[in-house]
């Protein structure tokens, strides 16, 4: 019986996520056609998450802890969608887009932390990929960045060498990045980066695997 109840709850959670992901996906309609990352998306993401939070309050069995997890699943989705685009759309890999992305996530994380009474740092952990990608954009235009022996090891905690190399190569198509920096980053990239899974089931499985 316990296993049956668990499966039912898991199926409901997946349905809620699938619906919410479709709503979030609609906010990205102009990303691929824009010359840089569009401004104002934080408000649209906030509206979708506000709808999710309001919806969960109608079900007594959805505890505050489960609501927090649903929010984390949604942040992972936003993070992965944007990160996947950065890997394949060079025009988005610029300092200007980086500023917009970082500001958008900061706005969203501030709001959702207050709305759910959860520390912002907990939610930030679900956005590590995109936040480190943005930091890479800010740093690699300065050749001296590689003089810091901790820079790449810290970056590789969150992004694979292949991902770092691809992001740098993409940025170099519109921004000056020295050949020395590009050469150093390419040394550790042994394969092409793969896109991260963004379906509700795949993200749910990712969390279940992490916490099992």
Alpha-carbon distance of 47 to 23, in angstroms, equals: 10
pTM of the model: 0.93
DSSP-derived secondary structure letter, 198: -
Q: 17-68: per-residue pLDDT in tens?
A: 999 999 999 999 999 999 999 999 999 999 999 999 999 888 888 889 999 9
Q: 103-120: per-residue pLDDT in tens?
A: 999 999 999 999 999 999
Residue 1 has pLDDT above 60, yes or no: no
119 three-state secondary structure: coil
pLDDT, mean over the chain: 92
> What is the number of other CB atoms lying within 10 angstroms of the CB of residue 135?
17
Alpha-carbon distance of 52 to 160, in angstroms, equals: 32
Q: Dihedral sign, CA of 108, 120, 203, 189? A: positive
Q: Which residue has the tokens 């790449």?
A: 152
Alpha-carbon distance of 164 to 136, in angstroms, equals: 8
Q: 130-145: per-residue pLDDT in tens?
A: 999 999 999 998 888 8
Q: Are 74 and 52 a contacting pair, CB within 8 Å?
A: yes
Q: 166-178: per-residue pLDDT in tens?
A: 999 999 999 999 9
pLDDT band at 212 (very low <50, low <70, confident <90, very high): low
* pLDDT attached to residue 58: 84
Torsion angles phi and psi, residue 80, rounded to 5: -70, -40
């Amino acid at each position: 019986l316990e296993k049956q109840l668990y499966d039912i709850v898991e199926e409901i959670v997946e349905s809620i996520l699938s619906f919410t992901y479709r709503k979030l996906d609609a906010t990205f309609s102009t990303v691929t056609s824009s010359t840089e990352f569009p401004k104002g998306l934080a408000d649209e993401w906030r509206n979708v998450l506000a709808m999710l939070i309001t919806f969960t309050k109608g079900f007594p069995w959805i505890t505050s802890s489960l609501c927090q997890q649903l929010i984390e699943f949604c942040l992972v989705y936003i993070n992965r969608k944007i990160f996947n685009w950065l890997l394949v759309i060079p025009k988005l890999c610029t300092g200007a887009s980086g500023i917009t992305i970082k500001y958008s996530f900061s706005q969203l994380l501030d709001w959702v932390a207050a709305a759910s009474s959860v520390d912002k740092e907990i939610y930030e952990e679900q956005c590590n990929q995109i936040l480190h990608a943005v930091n890479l954009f800010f740093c690699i235009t300065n050749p001296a960045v590689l003089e810091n022996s901790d820079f790449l090891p810290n970056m590789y905690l969150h992004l694979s060498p292949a991902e770092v190399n691809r992001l740098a190569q993409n940025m170099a198509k519109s921004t000056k990045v020295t050949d020395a920096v590009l050469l150093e980053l390419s040394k550790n990239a042994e394969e092409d980066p793969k896109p991260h899974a963004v379906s509700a089931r795949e993200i749910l499985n990712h969390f279940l695997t992490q916490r099992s």
